[in-house]
Amino acid sequence: MPHEMSVQREAIVARVRSHARVLILPGIVLIVTAAALGYFFGSFPENWQNLALLAVGLLLIVVAWFLPFFSWLARNYTITTRRVVLSSGVFVRVRQELLHSRGYDVTVRQTWIQRMFGSGDLLINAGHEYPVVLRDIPSVALTQAALHDLMENNQNVVSMRRQREEEHPPDETTVWGTR
């Protein structure tokens, strides 16, 4: 009789990025720079002055809008039924995973601006030297409650699996999960 084991499928609970309010200032810079370029381009008597204005405007757009926007896009957090996955980076991709079944402490840290928007930093202390930080995520209280529930459910599944293994230890003839 084959040993049956219930396999829990992993499902995505949430995909989260930092709060989009970090893009307000870059958005304003983009609009003001584009308006200034549209208004002043071609108004200088020398052609090199117009090209210099265009170059400075494009450089400002790249540094003040493009880089912050893609930095915001490049960092995301995925919460599944089994783990929390932190991904960041454009050229060098970094991926860190925390399993719910390992257990961890979840702390919320909010500044007064974050409290106004309902966002905050979620600190996950998994026993490492430094906590893992999900920076400025929206609906931080809801995310904290969801992580508590997911961690509790996963710990129950792991403890049930351990208890089942203790009740029915594998015998000496078990090879590759069959008897």
What Cα–Cα distance (Å) separates residue 28 from each residue in 4, 25, 50, 117, 135?
59, 5, 23, 19, 23
Would residue 28 count as lying in a domain? yes
Residue 152 binned pLDDT confidence (cut-offs 50, 70, 90): confident
Which tokens hold the place of 4?
């049956």
Strands annotated E in 22-131: 76-80, 83-88, 94-99, 105-109, 119-125
The pLDDT value recorded for residue 41 is 93
- Parent domain of 141: 12-167
Q: How far is residue 169's CA from residue 172's CA, in Å, rounded to a whole number?
A: 10
The pLDDT value recorded for residue 101 is 83
Would residue 123 count as lying in a domain? yes
pLDDT at position 171 over 80: no
The pLDDT value recorded for residue 157 is 62
The pLDDT value recorded for residue 53 is 95
Which tokens hold the place of 70?
């893609």
Q: Which residues partner with 79 through β-bridges?
A: 14, 84
Please work out, in degrees rounded to the nearest 5, the angle formed at the alpha carbon of residue 66 by the alpha carbons of 65 and 69.
80
Residue 3 binned pLDDT confidence (cut-offs 50, 70, 90): very low
- Domain total of the chain: 1
Buried b (16+ CB within 10 A) or exposed e, 34-72: eeebeeeeeeeeeeeeeeebeeebeebbeebbeebeeeb
Would residue 122 count as lying in a domain? yes
Which tokens hold the place of 175?
């090879």
Would residue 82 count as lying in a domain? yes
Would residue 108 count as lying in a domain? yes
pLDDT tens digits for 77-128? 999 999 999 999 988 999 999 888 888 899 999 999 999 999 999 999 988 7
Read off the CATH number of the domain in which 84 is found: 2.30.29
Would residue 19 count as lying in a domain? yes
Would residue 176 count as lying in a domain? no
Contact 96, 84 (CB under 8 A): no
Q: What is the 3-state secondary structure (H, E, C) of 107-125?
A: EEECCHHHHHHCEEEEEEE
